Structure 1
Amino acid sequence: MILDLLFPNRCIHCNRIIEGDLLICNLCFDQIHFTHFDYFEENPLKEKCKLLFPVQNTYALMHFEKENISRKIIHELKYRNREKVGKVIGEWVNERLDFRDNKPDILASVPLHPKKLKERNYNQLHLFTETLSQFHHIPFDHTLIKRNEYSKAQALQDKKNRLENQNLFSITKDTSGKHILLIDDVFTTGNTLTTIAWELLNQDNKISILVMAMDT
């Protein structure tokens, strides 16, 4: 109680004091640029993915534009040691995404290299994935995908270096014949998801994609 008075929870965008379990105030929440994509229909994310690998369904919660609120939210999650932001974003997805009678078999998130995991102390996608799993009753597997090499962010690499990262990820177990929902934070170039998707497709799986935000 005393700590709440001394260090009240504040909106990450406008700095207003808000309830302790919230991330953003109602006024700023209304400014978030949600995509309103339909998971089962054609959408801009699906169009981009189809150019890179065979994909079943796709969903992005927010647009990831320069200086917008979604960028602040994800930066809080990844770089400000606020792992619980992943749960909040997961709850927003749960309010908007209905798998109906076509649920994937497994939820699998993009892994961090052990060195990066040690630096950050958590994978920013794990709590998000677990929140989706609990709500939709779909199992998750945090160990299905392994990152083999420590490397800088894909978005910072030039094309030549990205092409050299063909063995960046590996699949740790046989998942043949499964429909796997591959989860990441932001879709930018699609290189990371493409590398993982082809590893899973080579095991005769079907792939769908879910991201917190899509870079426009």
Structure 2
Amino acid sequence: MILDLFFPNRCLGCNRIIEGNLLVCTLCFEQIHFTHHRYFENSYLKEKCKLLFPIEHCFSLMQFEKESLSRKIIHELKYKSREKTGKILAEWTTEKLDFKDEKPDLFVTVPLHSKKLKERGYNQLHVFTETLSEFYKIPFDHHLIKRNHYSKAQALKDKKHRLETENTFSMTTNISGKHILLIDDVFTTGNTLATIAWEILKSGNNKVSVLVMAIDI
């Protein structure tokens, strides 16, 4: 395409020109710190979650280290209007995540407030989740959880304000007897996921697992 000639796709790591459907070149891909977590095994992420709410299983694709390539990839997705990044991250996830014979019943995404959704133009989790849904043949619901208050991004908050999540979320529909996989971009303190998890658990005889693109360690 003409645009590709004037604005070629470049590797987020080294700025080399790469194919349009890639995020990084082969060399930089090797520099991404994947977690190598197993969904059914104990991990740092699972131990953190267990301190906050009853959890079944969990998975994190990458480590979210300071000045890392994984951090740059997530920021491109969230703040640089590169929504297609979600599809690529989902494809990387499918290569590493195996639900075996214990698939969740439903994928549920952490919502944005309607004001923030309008500002950003998209929820960074939607393409990611929809790609996973198609691959695993598991339905998704972007509207089961409602964010009640507008707030600035977690990354821009200090630690005190990150803990202020009471009444931030509510259920739009009561569900019961379901295994819900909560999906978010980055696990930091875990308070956002915990708040949502408790809403789901209070709604009925449900189970909660977690999937994040990256964990801040």
TM-score range, shorter chain: over 0.9
Q: Which runs of 5+ in 2 are unaligned?
A: none
Q: Please name the residue that 2:206 is paired with.
A: 205
Residue aligning to 1:8:
8
Instruction: State the Cα deviation string for residues 122-158 of structure 1 (Å, max 9, x = none).
Output: 0000000001100000000001000000012345144
* Structure 2: distance between partners of 1:13 and 1:164: 35
- 2:190 equivalent in structure 1: 190
| Displacement of 1:8 | 1.1
**Compared CA separation, residues 162 and 10, structure 1 to 2 (3 A):** closer
Supply the AA of the counterpart residue of 2:110. V
- Unaligned stretches of 5+ residues in structure 1: none
The TM-score, its normalising length taken from structure 1, stands at 0.96
Alpha-carbon RMSD across the aligned residues, in angstroms, is 1.1
Q: 2:19 is matched with which residue?
A: 19
> Structure 1 residues 82 and 163, CA, compared in 2 at 3 Å: closer, same or farther?
closer
Q: How does 1:115-126 map to 2 (within 5 A)?
A: 115-126=115-126
Per-residue deviation at 1:162?
5.0
| Cα distance in 2, alignment partners of residues 163 and 64 from structure 1 | 19
* Matches of 2:136 and 2:78, distance apart in 1: 24
Q: Is the 8 A contact 2:60 2:214 kept in 1?
A: yes
Distance 1:153 1:3, change over 3 A: closer
Query: Match of 2:213, as an amino acid?
Result: M
CA contact (8 A) 1:154 1:192 kept: no
Match for 1:191: what amino acid? Answer: N
Query: Are 1:34 and 2:22 an aligned pair?
Result: no
Q: How does 1:68-107 map to 2 (within 5 A)?
A: 68-107=68-107
SS of the aligned residue for 2:117 comes to: helix
Q: Which residue number in structure 1 is paired with residue 47 of structure 2? A: 47
Q: CA deviation at 1:74?
A: 0.3
Whether the 8 Å CA contact 2:165–2:192 is kept in 1: the answer is no
Deviations 1:190-210 (A, max 9, x none): 010011010001122100000
Normalising by structure 2, we get a TM-score of 0.96
1:30–1:163 CA distance, 2 compared to 1 (3 A): closer
Alignment deviations for residues 52-76 of structure 1 (CA, whole Å, 9 cap, x no partner) = 0000001000000000100000000
Percent same amino acid among aligned pairs?
A: 70
Q: Counterpart in 2 of 1:111?
A: 111
- Residues 119, 47 of structure 1: CA spacing in aligned structure 2 closer, same or farther, 3 A cutoff? same
